[in-house]
Structure 1
């Protein structure tokens, strides 16, 4: 059996970003449930908000200009672990916008 992908979310405790990190972890676990090996929250300081998939940095707040939209984050994770997977409404464009 191959090892399932691991996600880590490092967040700044000084900036009170724990709830945001926890919500993103919950969303990823809800969407990818048994496809992920773990989702880890890592408290830090200094304005950090970084998301790693295994050892690949897929989002960094300073580098990428803020926080990821959950739709974008789910698509990024999907593209790494199962590119052919349909994410349902997350993949559909809202034509009314």
Structure 2
């Protein structure tokens, strides 16, 4: 059985200067889970956005949490997403 590869998006506010944390988050995830990822896309946005989704499902939202993710938090959330993913369909 072929390993499922997931697409992650990191939407970040450009005018807020969030590219360093978006880049760091991408590196954290890729360094630990590159075999499980088909893509990590950095998506420029506005309005204070820092939103992380996997396969279109939100896994972290700065707007909802009122904070940035902690070190390796997105890695943990991605691992939880993979554990809960329905591989049957």
**Same fold (TM > 0.5):** yes
1: distance between equivalents of 2:29 and 2:72? 10
Q: What TM-score do the two structures reach when normalised by structure 1?
A: 0.78
- Report the equivalent of 2:51: 50
Does 1 or 2 have the higher relative contact order (CA < 8 Å, sep 6+)?
Answer: 2
Question: How far apart are the structure 2 equivalents of 1:10 and 1:39?
Answer: 11
- Indicate if the aligned counterparts of 2:11 and 2:50 stay in contact, CA closer than 8 A: yes
Unaligned 5+ runs, structure 1: 84-97
Give the ranges of 4+ consecutive aligned residues of structure 1 lying more than 2 Å apart after TM superposition: none
Give me the CA root mean square deviation.
1.5
Q: TM-score, normalised by structure 2?
A: 0.84
